[in-house]
Structure 1
Amino acid sequence: MPDTGTMRTVGRQWKSLLLDCAAWAVALYTVGWISLDFGIAANEWYPITLLVLVAILGQCIFGALCALYVNRFLPGSFNELKALLGAVLLTGVILGVAAFPVAAISSVPRSVAFISIPLAVTIIGGARLVQRIRHDARERPTGATQRTLIYGAGYLGNYLVQRMLSDRLSPYFPVGFIDDDPAKRKLRVDGIDVLGTGADLSAIALRTGATSLVISIARADATLLRQVSDAGKAAGLRVLVFPVLEEVLEGKSRLRDVREIEIEDLIGRHPIDTHIESMAGYLTGKRVLVTGAGGSIGSELCRQINRFHPEELIMLDRDETGLQGVQLLIDGNGLLTNKNIVLADIRDPEALNEIFESRRPEVVFHAAALKHLPMLERYPREAWKTNVVGTLNVLEAARAVGVRTFVNISTDKAANPTSVLGYSKRIAEQLTSWAAQQSGMTYLSVRFGNVLGSRGSLVPLFKSMIAAGGPITVTDPNATRFFMTIPEACNLVVQAGGIGSPGEVLILDMGDPVRILDIAERMIAKSGSDIAIVFTGLRPGEKLNEELMGAGEADVRPIHPKISHTYVTPISPQSLDQKAWENEMAHSVALSEVRHD
């Protein structure tokens, strides 16, 4: 049995088409009647009817080409009106051409065709307006709703209000806009006024009886989100956020995606515009391999790479569960049968050489690494095997098959390293620089700080501590770290291969560092629980404040003002000495433990 909703939609499409055709008939007969001195003789009906048939045919053809009758547009929306205007004007062109032979064989003037165009536009547009009014009246929320203020009267705010008013199931009813732009002080959207600025929030909330505040600013940074969140909570409002502009424009976000503000929103930033689309063409049609593909960074990296349609995306990891997760993300299934999923360990050079020789990747992103600082302080040999020797294995396998672009993912702990993790990643950067020197190809590294939401990172750890009832452990009240989102980190990694030069290290300007204590306090306040904070002291190898640039490294920004390019001294594999490394790391750890005692 046909779906009722589908039948109703098809009915609306046919109704719209018939109304548009009828509008042309009314317009042409009316203009003809006026042009012929308010009367149409018997021999003049035929030529006018011929013009009507031409107009109807044109409207059917061009209306279909402009997608007017496939339920693509909201009734009466600006996009529908643009499509409608295009179809009517194109129909008018055909009608104007047909008017010449018609005028030659009858007394109907050519002007009938041209004058009927604006009248048809008016009738058709008016019919759409009536449809929109009826649609809005029928769809306006009828259930229990939350009186809601919208922070931001720009494109996103306008879109959000329209959705709130047109969705019958919307739990939100907009009662006003808040916007700090003085030029928008008297703006009104769909009957909803801009009531004031953020400074007036408490008074406006009291006056309107609002219970919720939705932040709808296209690129709100963490500082602004913190300010608005704090002001909203002080006004007794439930603070929510709407997805970023790109997701709305791509049709990925709906009204139901309005969500509670998270700690990641308050300490991270939406990705800066690094024009990645113009830089990542080197991936299209290429064979791309990602190591550590099952990790949080590796899986997001695979997702972003997949957008650029590589010939083949080879996802390599030693964690079979992680590989299943990334296959779900990329292929929509976790069958683990596709050949783009490769189970291997970067510590195994023979396996790597076999994989590289058989698959012959052209671009490699090296994300596989051990990354937990305290663990590697206790087991420095493991850092050597994975972060140093494992990286060298991947570099050698890549060089052997002529990989042209190699991006090594590093960490801010490699800048002036004081930990086993930092030293191991610093050597990985130097080995990558050496490989660039030897091959002449674009082998480079990307360095960034803490990644929000990655496995084992700070925020998930604090969430677990809060869920367990506390306490939250913080190393030092003055400890600070740089933070960025997973998409932002991967955006930089992908772009690095397009803008970096051989041997370089690229570093994203990550803004101001954030105090870890501030994060803990905000998360406790958000939880509503009484959780204690315990200071444990800095762990061996740990810095009070992280750095992005090492001593003697130049901060050059030749392409993008937010991306620094620096250079590290190459180190050859022949100069690596595991015994010397282990002795040096053991000495470093011992000194660090003495300092912390």
Structure 2
Amino acid sequence: MILNRRSMLLLVVDVIIIALSICTSYLLESSGTIPNGQLDQMLIYFIVTAVISGVTMTYFRLYNRLWQYASIEEILAIAASVVWSCVVSHVLMAAIFRERIPLAISLRTMETMLLAIGAIRFGWRVFNKYRRSTSNKRKAIIIGAGDCGVIIAKEIMNNPNAELQIVGFIDDDAMKMRTRVFGIPVLGDRNQIAAVVKSTNAEEIIIAMPSVGKDQVSEIIDLCKATSAKTKIIPGLSDLITGKVSVTSLRDVDVEDLLGREPVRPDLNGIAEYVEHKIVLVTGAGGSIGSELSRQIASFKPKKLLLLGHGENSIYSIEMELRFNYPSLQLETIIADIQDRSRIDEVFRLHNPRVVFHAAAHKHVPLMERNPAEAVKNNVFGTRNVADAADKYQVERFVLISSDKAVNPSSIMGATKRMAEMYIQTLDASSQTKFVAVRFGNVLGSRGSVIPRFREQIMNGGPVTVTHPDMVRYFMTIPEAVQLVIQAGAFAQGGEIFVLDMGAPVKILNLAEDVIRLSGYEPYREIDIAFTGMREGEKLFEELLLNEEEITKTRHNRIFIGHPLMINRGELELQFKRLERAIGEGQQAVRDVIEYVVPMYKVPIAT
């Protein structure tokens, strides 16, 4: 074993400790004066003990440990090393050197060595801890003194580069009150969060309760919002089970944490029946929804997964991800524009998909207000091309990704989505394919969504921009939105529009205030909020069903069905021809036809 400078220093210190231990043992045994006859014995005993100790301490790796992280394992290693060295030395002195060491001297030597060697090493640990704790670090409290909280606290305490200093725990378990974990006190329950933050001057709160439900997490976050501390959270119980919990797994609190709603749980058996061993096509596979659809469908073992998209970079990205995560999956990437009718027909003819998830669409409301013809070409006629090909090649199921903005639309984007719904509903009446649509609200984390924009504005010092103080929206996460889409395919009988019970709508102003507080700032004082006025095509609140659509339950308690309305196919096709002609006549002509085709379409009055 090659010793570095630190280990060599420890070895020298250990030799000195052994010498002092033996010397003091002889002095105590002889009442302060060592007889001349015992000096030679003491010297031999020191040499033998030093050599044997060097061997045992090397064997128990006492010179290869980081003592600033010392714990019970290191205590046991020191004890085993010292006991073995003293026992072996005592026996060798009698067996080889014919020197019988008094048992009292051997025991006293062992005791002194144990105390001194342990004190030197654990003193270094305490010194490092004191040095780190007195440095300029941000104070933090951990909510949850269970396994997860303990792991996080230990990692922070043992990391000399950590920027946090844990000053206390919060836990609702009354048995833990006034106890200490790694020397850190449990200071109160959740109702005392604000008081503890104030008394400790904590700048950050870490929520380490991955096993509790979303409703409880939401309650705790509400209590954290009343403080000035920045709030972070451990993602989930699965990370604790798989051993992935660490400081690096901490993340900022997101809107899904604020919603207090458990995610949708799919009926996996029903999904497997219609996806497994089938050729599945996902259009718009490079987008936020399309890429998540592809990820989740891949886990159900389709015969082949077809990834169709217009942008080569995004398709390449999801392809590489899926090839890495599902190396045995048969994958086909297709660069195509859904507006190209002959190309879409070719894709269906060559690959013969049995299930289609149509996620390709233009979705940004203000952009489509300024470019209505492009919205129509992509969202209406692009959908028609894919749906017609599905009908022609007798696809089993076709699932359209729609939007709550299709209900009583106030925007071009919403109106085009409604026309897409109308078309597949009329097609379903005469097709062997089961055509269904899925409506949901705003998706968290998608490109251009509100939370990343708020965080960016906060990082830049504000202001955070909100269009209107009374605007409300429904929210859901991308994974649960996609689970709903896949589940809808399992429930499909043909012609339905599926909607999700997304809980109460969220006021955007309150959302902005929450994000600011959870980022560690005070709204209006440290980070201002500015109202920019409603954008083109926006309305104050969104709806999920038309008044005429009757809603019924499915066997999934979070998914409901809006039944199809009677739509005259001949009349709809006639209006689509008018719409095609209007594209060549200008943007206003397109708007005029849209207003006729979708009578519910109303341009909102600016407020």
Q: TM-score, normalised by structure 2?
A: 0.65
Whole-angstrom CA distance in 2 between matches of 1:276 and 1:139:
53
Alignment of 1:52-201 (within 5 A): 144=132, 149-152=141-144, 156-157=148-149, 177-180=169-172, 195-201=187-193
Whole-angstrom CA distance in 1 between matches of 2:176 and 2:561:
41
**Residue 195 (structure 1) shift:** 4.8
CA contact (8 A) 1:432 1:570 kept: no
Alignment of 1:40-55 (within 5 A): none
The equivalent of 1:446 in structure 2 is: 438
Whole-angstrom CA distance in 1 between matches of 2:434 and 2:261:
28
Whole-angstrom CA distance in 2 between matches of 1:406 and 1:593:
31
The equivalent of 1:595 in structure 2 is: 605
Secondary structure at 2:537 match in 1: coil
**Residue 564 (structure 1) shift:** 1.3
Provide Cα deviations, 1:224-272, integer angstroms capped at 9, x if missing partner: 5565345446555442200112344355x33133424244345456751
Secondary structure at 1:438 match in 2: coil
Provide Cα deviations, 1:277-296, integer angstroms capped at 9, x if missing partner: 33321322221111001111
Question: Given the superposition, is the C-alpha separation of residues 219 and 421 from structure 1 closer, same or farther in structure 2, using an over 3 Å criterion?
Answer: farther
Whole-angstrom CA distance in 2 between matches of 1:155 and 1:557:
40
1:355 aligns with 2:347: yes
CA contact (8 A) 2:391 2:433 kept: no
The equivalent of 2:510 in structure 1 is: 518
Amino acid at match of 1:261: D
Whole-angstrom CA distance in 2 between matches of 1:448 and 1:171:
41
Provide Cα deviations, 1:192-223, integer angstroms capped at 9, x if missing partner: 88653211224445677866432133376777
Provide Cα deviations, 1:299-346, integer angstroms capped at 9, x if missing partner: 11111111222221111011112212222332249xxxx961110011
Provide Cα deviations, 1:97-134, integer angstroms capped at 9, x if missing partner: xxxxxxxxxxxxxxxxxxxxxxxxxxxxxxxxxxxxxx
The equivalent of 2:545 in structure 1 is: 549
Provide Cα deviations, 1:571-593, integer angstroms capped at 9, x if missing partner: 4654231326642436899x966
What's the RMSD between the two structures over aligned residues? Answer: 4.0
Whole-angstrom CA distance in 1 between matches of 2:516 and 2:160:
36
Whole-angstrom CA distance in 2 between matches of 1:219 and 1:301:
27
Secondary structure at 2:555 match in 1: coil
Give 5+ residue unaligned stretches, structure 2: 1-70, 73-121, 580-589
Secondary structure at 2:402 match in 1: strand
Provide Cα deviations, 1:28-49, integer angstroms capped at 9, x if missing partner: xxxxxxxxxxxxxxxxxxxxxx
Give 5+ residue unaligned stretches, structure 1: 1-74, 77-135
Question: Given the superposition, is the C-alpha separation of residues 504 and 166 from structure 1 closer, same or farther in structure 2, using an over 3 Å criterion?
Answer: farther
Whole-angstrom CA distance in 1 between matches of 2:158 and 2:261:
28
The equivalent of 1:401 in structure 2 is: 393
1:583 aligns with 2:592: yes
CA contact (8 A) 2:410 2:604 kept: no
1:330 aligns with 2:322: yes
1:389 aligns with 2:381: yes
Return the index of the structure with the highest Cα Rg: 2
**Residue 379 (structure 1) shift:** 2.6
CA contact (8 A) 1:144 1:171 kept: no
CA contact (8 A) 1:429 1:568 kept: no
Alignment of 1:239-258 (within 5 A): 239-250=231-242, 253-258=244-249
1:535 aligns with 2:535: no
CA contact (8 A) 1:419 1:542 kept: yes
- How many pairs align? 459
Question: Given the superposition, is the C-alpha separation of residues 551 and 247 from structure 1 closer, same or farther in structure 2, using an over 3 Å criterion?
Answer: farther
1:502 aligns with 2:494: yes
The equivalent of 1:129 in structure 2 is: none
Secondary structure at 1:340 match in 2: strand
Residue of 296, 316, 322 corresponding to 2:308: 316
Amino acid at match of 1:254: V
The equivalent of 2:101 in structure 1 is: none
The equivalent of 1:277 in structure 2 is: 268
Amino acid at match of 2:189: T
CA contact (8 A) 1:319 1:343 kept: yes
Question: Given the superposition, is the C-alpha separation of residues 393 and 248 from structure 1 closer, same or farther in structure 2, using an over 3 Å criterion?
Answer: farther
Question: Given the superposition, is the C-alpha separation of residues 137 and 557 from structure 1 closer, same or farther in structure 2, using an over 3 Å criterion?
Answer: farther
Question: Given the superposition, is the C-alpha separation of residues 148 and 582 from structure 1 closer, same or farther in structure 2, using an over 3 Å criterion?
Answer: closer
Secondary structure at 2:307 match in 1: strand
Provide Cα deviations, 1:138-179, integer angstroms capped at 9, x if missing partner: 999968467654324567556656777898987777665434
Question: Given the superposition, is the C-alpha separation of residues 250 and 230 from structure 1 closer, same or farther in structure 2, using an over 3 Å criterion?
Answer: same
Amino acid at match of 1:278: N
CA contact (8 A) 1:150 1:177 kept: yes
**Residue 358 (structure 1) shift:** 0.8
**Residue 570 (structure 1) shift:** 5.7
CA contact (8 A) 1:481 1:515 kept: yes
1:433 aligns with 2:425: yes
Q: TM-score, normalised by structure 1?
A: 0.66
The equivalent of 2:335 in structure 1 is: 343
Amino acid at match of 2:558: K
Identity of aligned residues (%): 37
